Chain A
């Protein structure tokens, strides 16, 4: 098994979940209704939990330091999250569409990984898939409802979809280890995943008044997987590590 390839894959999955979880947790206490506040907060907590699970695999099986160090002390260039998760929140439409695009990719990825040749990952993936089922139910329900509601709601969702789609395609930026991962039976590969994802989101969006732009004409936003990031990641990382940096030797 190619451990370098495996490490790279776990790291990007952990980084995606960590940053997405932070962005979504920013809504805790501030969401449109109390009930939705609670639901969306659980989703954010799950995502941070998924990051912890990936970093724990790296720590326990691949000789990396403990999850707190992986998550909260690497420089920006060592992060391999996609740009989609880095963008700051704007309206709730933006966060809902991002959640819809992101979590559909997540559930398909983790479902595929339940058959991974790396069995510790396959076991974790089965548990995470259960949680992601709720994420998908939540995202689909909201998108179906708002995507068929008032003109304002439809226009907001459409604008967010148009803005976020190029970034969402960046989720599937291929790894240099793509062939190794497939050959070792660790993962089905980003290409196959993107095909499944396109079909799923198209089927849901079809049930709404929203229009899915033609992805073949869209330039995906790549770079995150190679350590190039938007201007928004570093300030968030600075924030996330602020307390640790007060005293790096201390236990918090």
Chain B
């Protein structure tokens, strides 16, 4: 995972627009209109850089925090196949974090600073990981449906204008397909299994459905700001479109197994061809993002433990005289 569509950006409201050099800006926009990619050493508008750092950084945080709910089941995963696939999947998520932090670093923000901002709460990660993975069925639901959502979001973003992010996402998407496949297999085994297994799965689907509907973020308010991000190919699709794509591709796969979804209004409108649903509870979404979800504290406590308990290792091999260089990625 998993950026989702929502980028936490409290600074944006109070930001006075930066006056950019009109000639450079025109050149930059012409490049993007031409379908050319932007490399780290190219000139770019301040707002383009700032927005990309936020976006890639939050995506990276989501990967390393996203490793935790599924990590819950590593020691308990049933049998060799499920266990090895789960460890490899969680490993990939850490790998995605590694690739994305490197991509964000090319824009000038060091990894250490991004991790500090994660731990202090200044920067956020995808809200969906603030929910607990209570049973083995949760692993199947996450692997299948959250990774499916991630693929929709990441495939769109991989076509964006910033080259290092696009390169990282190409590799990430290939690995996400494996995540989806292994998650779907575990999901189907439960759905086609015993009544106990089906009940576990139905319960997990019911619990995860609201966070999944939140996953792509609230409907975009089309402001001058979002229009600019779309023009610059930072934002590649609207949150509602991505949510619709997700429903279109995956709801039939859930329903064909006679697993129900806890929304009586969920249906595809045959006239518009779009999916309709009960508006998700966005108050709950913002309540959880601001730190009051069931697992926010544990997730950050664990990352803090990682940084603190690993400090002596990093300190032991720390060379204070080396000069930090932004990676090329």
Contact = CB atoms under 8 A, between A and B. Distances in A.
Q: Please determine if A and B sit in direct contact within the complex, based on CB atoms under 8 angstroms apart.
A: yes
Interface of A: 22, 25-26, 28-38, 41-42, 44-45, 48-49, 51-52, 67-68, 71-72, 91-92, 145-146, 149-150, 152-153, 156, 236, 239-240, 242-244, 246-247, 249-252
Given A34-B97, A153-B312, A68 B80 contact: yes
B269 to A, nearest CB: 38
Query: Which of A22, A32, A244 gathers the greatest number of chain B CB atoms within 10 Å?
Result: A32
B79 A236 contact: no
Contact of B91 (A22, A41, A72): A41
A30 B316 contact: no
Given A29-B94, A41-B94, A244-B78, A34 B101 contact: yes
Contacts of B194: 247, 249-250
Interface string B171-182: 000000000000
B313 A146 contact: yes
Nearest to B190: A252
Contact of A29 (B68, B79, B193, B314): B68
A32 B98 contact: no
A31 B91 CA distance: 11
Interface string B136-158: 10000000000000000000000
Contact of B313 (A34, A44, A153, A243): A153
A6 B64 CA distance: 43
B78 A243 contact: yes
Given A37-B91, A38-B95, A243-B77, A30 B302 contact: yes
A252 B196 CA distance: 11
Contacts of A48: 80, 83-84, 87
A26 B94 CA distance: 14
Interface of B: 64, 67-68, 71, 73-80, 82-84, 87-88, 90-91, 93-95, 97-98, 101, 136, 186, 189-190, 193-194, 196-197, 200, 302, 305-306, 309-317
A246 B143 CA distance: 21
Given A28-B94, A38-B98, A145-B317, A250 B197 contact: yes
B317 A149 contact: yes
Given A44-B87, A49-B84, A244-B79, A28 B312 contact: no
Given A28-B74, A29-B68, A41 B87 contact: yes
B310 A152 contact: no
Given A45-B84, A150-B316, A250-B196, A242 B76 contact: yes
Task: Kindly name the residue among B64, B84, B95, B136 whose own CB sees the greatest number of chain A CB atoms within 10 A.
Answer: B84
Contact of B74 (A26, A33, A152, A156): A26
Given A26-B75, A250-B197, A251-B189, A37 B80 contact: no
A244 to B, nearest CB: 5
A228 B169 CA distance: 50
A249 B82 CA distance: 17
Contact of B306 (A30, A67, A71, A250): A30
Nearest to B81: A68
A246 B201 CA distance: 13
B59 to A, nearest CB: 14
A151 to B, nearest CB: 9
A168 to B, nearest CB: 22
Contacts of A244: 78-79
B291 to A, nearest CB: 21
Given A32-B310, A34-B98, A42-B91, A68 B316 contact: no
Contact of A152 (B91, B189, B315): B315
11 contacts: A25-B87, A29-B71, A38-B98, A41-B87, A41-B94, A72-B79, A149-B316, A152-B315, A246-B196, A250-B194, A252-B136
